[in-house]
Structure 1
Amino acid sequence: MTTDQIRNWIATPANIQALLINIGLSAVVLFTTYLIIKILSSIIDRVIKERNINEENTDSETDNRLISDNLIRSTRVLLKTLLLYGGYFFAAILILQIFQVKVISVDDLKTAAVKIIKIVGVLVGARLAVNIGQITVKQIFERHKLNEQRRAQTLEALLRNVLTYIIFFLAALMIMEIFNVNTSAILASAGILGLAVGFGAQNLVKDIISGFFILFEDQFSVGDFVETAGIIGTVEEIGLRTCKIRQWTGQLHIIPNGEITRVTNYNRGHMMAVVTVGIAYEEDIDRAIEVLKQESYIAYKDIETILDEPQVQGVTELADSSVNIRTVAPTAPGEQWVIERELRRRFKYALDRAGIEIPYPRRVLYQREEDIHILKDQQYEG
C-alpha cells in the first residue's frame, strides 16, 4: 500500500474500529491460550508425577518398575513442550485468521495436527518399548544369576544399548513414513553401506561377535588360568574385541577374540594333581606303595586345598631305570600345580626315611684284569 492509501484507510472510522476489534480479539486469544496452557500444564503435573523420593522402595523394585521415573519425566517434559509451542502456534493461526491473513487452510491444519499426534505417539511408544526391553534384559540376567559381576554388567549394558538403538531407529523410520518419506530407499542404502563396512572391517566384526559369545557363554572369566591361541596364563581382562592374558613369567598377551577358537580352562570344576614317582627295580614295590599311601593321607589332613584323600594308583610304567608309581589327588581349581610340587617334596622325604631308593642316572664301568696288567706295564716302562 502507498502512503496515500494508508492515510485514506486510517481516515475511515470503520477501518479503525475493525482494527481495534481485531486487536482486542487477538489479545483475548493470547490470554485464553495462556490460561489454557497453564491449566493443562498443572493437570499434566498432577496426573504424570514421579515416585515420591521419601517412598521406601528397594533398588530391585525401582529397577523393575514398568514405567520408570526417567520415562515419566521425559513424557511430562515432552507433553508440556508440545502444549506450549502447539498452543501458541494455534493462537498465531487464529490471530492471522482474525486479520484475514490466510497462511494455512483448515484441512492443512488438521493434517498437521494428526501428524503431530502420530509423532508423539511413536516417540512415547518407543520410549516405553525401550523401558520394557531394559527391564526384560535385567530380569533375564537376574534369573540366570551370573556369578561374574563384571561380565554380567558388560553384557547387560551391551544388550540395552543395542535394544535402544534398534527401537529408536525403527521409530525414526515410522516418523519418516508419517511425512511420506520413502524409507525403502533408505533401508536399501543402509544395507549396501552395512555390507561394504562389513567387508572392510570383517576382522573387527569377527572379533566383536566372538567376544560377545565368550561373555555370553562364560567360556572363561577374569582370574581364570587358561590355555588359548598358543598362550598359557591368567586372564586379566575380557573385552568385546580383545582379551588380555598374562603369562606366569610376566608377559602380557593381547589376543583378538577372533583368534580364540579353543580354550582350555584350568579353573572350572575340581582339578587333579598327578605325581609320578620312580623307585629302583631292586626295591619292594608293595612297601613303596604303602609308604606313599601313608604320606598322601598325612598331606590330605594338612593341606586344605586337597579335596579328597589322594589315591596311589599303582605301577604305571616299567621304565629303563625305574618302576614308576602314580598318585592322583583332587584339588581346588588352580591349586593342582602347588599340590603336585608339595607332594613330590613329601614323597621324596618319606621314601628317604623308609630307605627306598629313588633311581637317578648312573654309569657303571667294568674293566677286565688283562687290561689292568697292560696299563701297569705301560706305567713301568714309562
Structure 2
Amino acid sequence: MNILIILAEVSFIIFVFLLLNWLVSKLFKLFTKTSILKSKDRSIKTLRRNITGLLLLACLVLCILVVGANGYLIYRGENLQQYMLLLIGRIPSRFWVTLGIGIAQSIGTLILAAFALKFLNYWLNVASTRAKNLEKNTADDESIDAFFSALYYRICSGVWLWAVILCAQFLKLPATVSQYLYIGLRIYLIIAVGLLILKAVTAIVDTLDVISITYANSDTLLRFYDRLRHLIPFLKRCLELVIYVCMATLVIQQVQLIANIAAFGPRIINIIGIIFISRVLFEVIYLLIEEVLFKNKNLTEIQKSRRLTLVPLLRSFLQYLVYFGATISILYTLDIDPTPILAGAGILGIAVGFGAQTLINDIVCGFFVLFENYYLVGDYIEAGKVEEKVVEGIVEAIELRTTRLRHPNGQLQIIRNGDIGSITNYSKQYIFAVVEVGVPYNSNLAHVYKVIEEIGQQLKVDDPDVLEGTQVDGVESLGESNLLLRTLTKVKPGKHLQIQRVLRKMFTDALLREGIVIPLRAEVAEG
C-alpha cells in the first residue's frame, strides 16, 4: 500500500510536468509561425529544449523529494495510508465538495471544447472550399488554404487556453494564477488575431492580383497594372510590418513595466506609410511621364531618342524630390524640426562644393551635352578616352554626371561627362559604310567597278538601312601586290558596322565568281 501511495504522488507530479510541457510546446509553435521569427528557428528550438530540460529537472527533483519524504516517514514507522488520511481529514469537507465540482466542471469544459473544435474544423473546411470556388482559378488556392489552416490553429489554441483559464477558476486556484493566465490569453489573442489578419491580407492581395491580371485590357486603367505589379511584394512587406508593429504595441501595453514604449507604435506605422506612399507616388508619376512622352505613336526616330534621353534624367530628379519630401515628413513624424538640419546641410553643401570641382565640372558638361544636343540615347558615338583608348558604343543613358555606352562587344562603359572631350557621332542624319577592297594589278578596273556598284544597288533594294547604292571612290593606295579600292555606301546612322560586314562578304563572293583573285594580304579599313 505504501508503494501505491508513493506511485500515485509521483504520477501526479509527472502529469503536471506533461501538462506544463504541452503548454510550452503550443506557445513555441505559435512563435515559430511568425515570419519575423522564422529566421531564428534554430535559436527558438534551442530555447525550447532548455526550458523542457529545466521542467524535467524540476520534475525529477520533486519526485526525489516526494520519495525521500515518504521514505523518511516509513523510516519513522509512520503508516503512509493513515498519515495521508489524517492529513486529508484535516482539510474541510467543503473543500472536497468544491474540488469535486470543479473537477467535474473542468472535465465538462474540456469535452465541450473538443466537440466545439471538431464542429469548427468541419465548417472551416466547407468555407475554404467555397472560397476557392468563388473565382474559377487556382492561382490563390495556396493563400486561401494557408489562411483557413492558420485560422483553425489559432482558434484551437485560443479555445484550449480559455478552457485552462476556466478550469483554474473552477478549481478555485489563487486569483494571481487567473490574472496571469488572462494576461497570457490577451497576449495570445493579440498575436493570433494579428497573424490571422496577416494571412487574410496575403490572401486578399493575391486574389486581387489574379483578378486584376484577368480583367486587365487596353481600354481601362488596369492596362497600367502590369507595369506596377512589381510593387506587390513591397506592399505585402509594408502591410506585414504594420501588422507586426500593431501586435507589438498591443502586447507591450499588457505589461505595465514597459507600457510607455507603446507610444512609439503609431509613429513607426506613420513612417512605414510615408515610405510606401513615397515609393508608389514615384512609380505612378514616372509611369505618367512615360505615358505622356510616348503617347504619340507617330514620333520620328530623333524625337524618340530625345525623349528616351530625358526619361532617365526625369526619373533621377523625381526620385530625389520624392525621397527628400519623404525624409522631411519622417522628421516631422518624429517631432524633429528639419529647419536646422536643412540649414546645416546647405552650409555643408557650399563647403563641399568648393572642393568638388570635378563633380561640378561633370554636371555642367552633362547640361551642355543635353541642351546642345551633342548626342542622344541610341546614338553610336566615339568620346573621351579611358586608359588612352577611345571609348565608343551605343549610348544607353545620359545622366547628370556620367554617360553609359554599350560597346559593340557588349561591355558597358561608364565615362564621366567631364572627360568626354571631343565627340564623334555616327548617328546624325547618315553615315558612310567605308569598305576597302584589294584587287590584283592586272584586274580590269572598269569591270570591277561595275560589279561593286551592282552589288551596292542590289543591297539598297534588299536592305532598308541602305540609303544610296555603293560608289567606288577610286584607288586608295598602291600596295606591293595589289591595288586598294575605296568604296562608300550611304546608310542610316549607326548602321555602318553591320553594312560593312555584309558588303565585305558580298564583294568577296562576287569577285571570286568573276574570276578575280583577291590577294592574300588585303588591307581592309573601317570608317
TM-score, normalised to structure 1's length?
0.50
State the match for 1:43 in structure 2.
Answer: 200
Instruction: Find 1:194's aligned residue among 346, 349, 367.
Output: 349
Q: Deviations over 1:264-313 (max 9, x none)?
A: 867533689xxxxxxxxxxxxxxxxxxxxxxxxxx8997656759x9xxx
Q: Which amino acid aligns with 1:79?
A: L
Task: Quickly say closer, same or farther: Cα 1:129–1:94, change in 2 above 3 A.
Answer: same
Task: Quickly say closer, same or farther: Cα 1:63–1:153, change in 2 above 3 A.
Answer: farther
Q: Distance in 1 between the 2:364 and 2:428 partners?
A: 24
Q: Which amino acid aligns with 2:318?
A: L
Q: Distance in 1 between the 2:307 and 2:289 partners?
A: 11
State the match for 1:120 in structure 2.
Answer: 272
SS across alignment from 2:294? helix
Shift of residue 223, structure 1, vs aligned partner: 6.2
State the match for 1:132 in structure 2.
Answer: 284
Question: Which structure 2 residues correspond to residues 68-87 of structure 1 after superposition, within 5 A?
Answer: 68-87=228-247
Shift of residue 176, structure 1, vs aligned partner: 1.1
Task: Quickly say closer, same or farther: Cα 1:256–1:79, change in 2 above 3 A.
Answer: closer
Q: Which amino acid aligns with 2:337?
A: N
Question: Which structure 2 residues correspond to residues 168-207 of structure 1 after superposition, within 5 A?
Answer: 168-207=323-362
Shift of residue 95, structure 1, vs aligned partner: 4.0
Task: Quickly say closer, same or farther: Cα 1:200–1:64, change in 2 above 3 A.
Answer: farther
Shift of residue 73, structure 1, vs aligned partner: 2.0
State the match for 2:375 in structure 1.
Answer: 220
State the match for 2:180 in structure 1.
Answer: 23
Name the structure with the higher helix share.
2
Q: Deviations over 1:193-212 (max 9, x none)?
A: 22223222233323234335
Q: Distance in 2 between the 1:95 and 1:255 partners?
A: 59
State the match for 1:88 in structure 2.
Answer: 248
Q: Distance in 2 between the 1:94 and 1:243 partners?
A: 57
Alpha-carbon contact 2:242-2:269 (below 8 Å) kept: no
Q: Deviations over 1:211-238 (max 9, x none)?
A: 355357753357657899xxxx995365
SS across alignment from 2:428? coil
Higher relative contact order (CA 8 A, sep 6+): 1
Q: Deviations over 1:236-277 (max 9, x none)?
A: 365654699x9xxxxxxx9964477997867533689xxxxx
Shift of residue 136, structure 1, vs aligned partner: 2.7
Shift of residue 156, structure 1, vs aligned partner: 4.0
Q: Which amino acid aligns with 2:209?
A: R
Instruction: Find 1:32's aligned residue among 181, 189, 192.
Output: 189
Aligned residues: 264
C-alpha RMSD over aligned residues: 5.3
The more displaced of 188-197 and 161-170 is 161-170
Q: Which amino acid aligns with 1:86?
A: C
Q: Deviations over 1:59-112 (max 9, x none)?
A: 9x999339823323212222222212421331232243xxxx4742xxx85x54
Alpha-carbon contact 1:66-1:131 (below 8 Å) kept: no
Shift of residue 184, structure 1, vs aligned partner: 0.8
Instruction: Find 1:208's aligned residue among 358, 363, 369.
Output: 363
Q: Which amino acid aligns with 1:52?
A: V
TM-score, normalised to structure 2's length?
0.39
Alpha-carbon contact 1:155-1:216 (below 8 Å) kept: no
Question: Which structure 2 residues correspond to residues 1-382 of structure 1 after superposition, within 5 A?
Answer: 17-49=174-206, 51-52=209-210, 55=213, 64-65=224-225, 68-96=228-256, 101=257, 103-104=259-260, 109=262, 112-140=264-292, 142-143=294-295, 147=301, 156-211=311-366, 214=369, 218-220=373-375, 235-236=392-393, 238=395, 240=399, 241=402, 257-258=417-418, 267-269=427-429
SS across alignment from 2:375? coil
Q: Which amino acid aligns with 1:201?
A: A
Q: Distance in 1 between the 2:360 and 2:456 partners?
A: 51
Q: Distance in 2 between the 1:225 and 1:45 partners?
A: 49
Task: Quickly say closer, same or farther: Cα 1:166–1:214, change in 2 above 3 A.
Answer: same
Task: Quickly say closer, same or farther: Cα 1:156–1:184, change in 2 above 3 A.
Answer: same
State the match for 2:444 in structure 1.
Answer: none
SS across alignment from 1:78? helix
Shift of residue 29, structure 1, vs aligned partner: 0.5
Q: Distance in 2 between the 1:36 and 1:18 partners?
A: 27
SS across alignment from 2:374? coil
Task: Quickly say closer, same or farther: Cα 1:135–1:26, change in 2 above 3 A.
Answer: same
SS across alignment from 1:236? strand
Shift of residue 183, structure 1, vs aligned partner: 0.7
Q: Which amino acid aligns with 2:345?
A: A
Shift of residue 21, structure 1, vs aligned partner: 1.8
Task: Quickly say closer, same or farther: Cα 1:190–1:140, change in 2 above 3 A.
Answer: farther
Alpha-carbon contact 1:29-1:95 (below 8 Å) kept: no
Unaligned runs of 5+ in 2: 1-172, 385-389, 408-413, 433-452, 461-465, 472-488, 501-527
Unaligned runs of 5+ in 1: 1-15, 247-253, 273-298, 311-329, 339-382
Q: Distance in 1 between the 2:428 and 2:236 partners?
A: 51
Alpha-carbon contact 1:306-1:331 (below 8 Å) kept: yes
